[in-house]
Amino acid sequence: MYDSMMQRACDLAVYIIENRTTIRAAAKHFGVSKSTVHKDISERLSICSPSLYRQVKDVLEINKAERHIRGGIATRKKYEKQRAKKPTQHS
């Protein structure tokens, strides 16, 4: 079981690095929780593959720095979608 967790941590890291993706997206892709991905990346990966750990940490730091931008885009899309559904009112 220990080996499978370490392998999953490495697989997650490779996926995040290759796709420049977020923890949430990686969790969805692998069918595990965000907490599991975070634990695999922050604890297990640093033990089994320090070089992968550094690479994935760099990607996650970039994601963290861009988080406010993605949030703004998501909010804009949400309200555009609501406006499109709302029937126009004429006097």
CA neighbor of 16 nearest in space, from 6, 5, 25, 4:
25
CA neighbor of 19 nearest in space, from 59, 66, 51:
59
What is the tens place of the pLDDT at every residue in 21-63?
Answer: 999 999 999 999 999 999 999 999 999 899 999 999 999 999 8
Residue 91 has pLDDT above 60, yes or no: no
Q: How many residues does the chain have?
A: 91
Whole-model pTM: value is: 0.71
Residue 88 has pLDDT above 80, yes or no: no
Q: What is the DSSP string of 36-61?
A: HHHHIIIIIHHHH-HHHHHHHHHHHH
